[in-house]
Amino acid sequence: MTDPSGYVRVREKGNRDVSYPPAPEPLSVAVYDNHTHLEIEDGEGLPLGEHLARAAAAGVAGVVQAGGDIESSRWSAWAAAHHPGVLAAVAIHPNEAPAYAAQGRLAEAIAVIDDLAAQPRVRAIGETGLDFFRTGEEGVPAQLESFEAHIALAKKHDLAMQIHDRDAHDAVLETLERVGAPERTVFHCFSGDADMARVAADRGYWLSFAGNVTFKNAQNLRDAFAVTPLDRVLVETDAPFLTPVPLRGRPNAPYLVPLTVRFLAQERGLGLDEFCAQIAANTLAVYGSFS
């Protein structure tokens, strides 16, 4: 495999506090961050090895590094192949699909994902799905074509699928029902309400909750979590984005997962260790062993 280890994307700093927050109290029972973007440098930036060391010290035993285009998917596969504790998800993000289509390269891009998906530590196709927030109506056909192609890849390689769904709840659910969802389907950074959570859980999908569940304006996410069966719950950072309250706006990283986990446990009055054990079991059921 070509070594893409020097690949990096830089998040615009703006006027944010770009220092990494102090580490939270570590979890006694380890969990996993099932969706992160460690190729994106935020603030001072951290090497991949440092991210993983901080995560392990906080009780986060592994991460699923997610791609969104050819370059980040190659980097994700490389990271998983070279770093214990990292698994990869590879895909063309729905907001990237129209750009590839406009260049006449969507089929080529999906073929690259197909090749990467054959690697043993690539365990998911993602993030794929639909986004009607950032892409207008003219981009919908390319998004749908890409989404359906990614569903087919997940089935072909017997991989999990991580869904990006923004302002497209009904269309995503309809597509999954019409085409047939992969056996292990995850709504990354679940953004629906309680009614959607019930539908997703009834269909056997997993719902992954990120730091935005702690935001003041995210009651819909808390309502969704309240009705989600515990054996359908996953957690993630979506780092470097969606840092939990009270650190919102600062760089996010896998070592901050305990903040979201503790918040969720308190929301439902759950014992922390038992909740962590359930999250870990769910993650391994979806992606397999991280070792």
pLDDT tier, 5 (very low <50, low <70, confident <90, very high otherwise): low
Note whether 278 and 230 are within 8 A (CB). yes
**What is the pLDDT, as a whole number, of residue 256?**
98
Domain that holds residue 136: 25-287
Asked if residue 181 belongs to a domain, the reply is yes
Asked if residue 85 belongs to a domain, the reply is yes
pTM metric for this prediction: 0.95
pLDDT tier, 8 (very low <50, low <70, confident <90, very high otherwise): confident
Give residue-wise pLDDT tens across range 124-135. 999 999 999 888
Give residue-wise pLDDT tens across range 40-97. 988 778 999 999 999 999 999 999 999 999 999 999 999 999 999 999 999 999 999 9
Asked if residue 90 belongs to a domain, the reply is yes
Residue 63, phi then psi, degrees to nearest 5: -135, 150
Q: Which residue has the tokens 């698994």?
A: 87
pLDDT tier, 3 (very low <50, low <70, confident <90, very high otherwise): low
Collapsing DSSP to helix, strand or coil, 50 comes out as helix
Asked if residue 4 belongs to a domain, the reply is no
**What is the pLDDT, as a whole number, of residue 2?**
46
Is the pLDDT reported for residue 10 higher than 90? no
pLDDT tier, 136 (very low <50, low <70, confident <90, very high otherwise): confident
Dist CA 91 CA 96 (whole Å): 10
Structural domains in the chain (count): 1
Dist CA 234 CA 188 (whole Å): 9
Mean pLDDT over each residue of the chain, to the nearest integer? 95
Give residue-wise pLDDT tens across range 16-37. 888 999 999 999 999 999 999 9
Our CA angle for 266, 184, 181, nearest 5°, is: 120
Asked if residue 9 belongs to a domain, the reply is no
pLDDT tier, 160 (very low <50, low <70, confident <90, very high otherwise): very high
**CATH number of the domain residue 83 falls in:** 3.20.20.140
Which H or E run includes 90? strand 86-90
Asked if residue 136 belongs to a domain, the reply is yes
AA letter at 85: G
Dist CA 250 CA 16 (whole Å): 7
HSE on the CB side for 121, CA within 13 Å? Answer: 22
**What is the pLDDT, as a whole number, of residue 186?**
98
Calculate helix-pair angle for 257-267, 272-287, nearest 10 degrees.
Answer: 120
Dist CA 88 CA 127 (whole Å): 11
Asked if residue 17 belongs to a domain, the reply is no
Dist CA 291 CA 85 (whole Å): 6
Dist CA 55 CA 258 (whole Å): 10
Note whether 276 and 28 are within 8 A (CB). yes
Q: What percent of the chain has pLDDT over 70?
A: 98
pLDDT (average), residues 200-215? 98
**What is the pLDDT, as a whole number, of residue 214?**
98
Dist CA 111 CA 239 (whole Å): 27
CA-CA-CA-CA torsion sign (131, 86, 48, 113): negative
Which residues make beta-bridge pairs with 90? 125
Asked if residue 14 belongs to a domain, the reply is no
Note whether 17 and 266 are within 8 A (CB). no
**What is the pLDDT, as a whole number, of residue 94?**
97
HSE on the CB side for 85, CA within 13 Å? Answer: 20
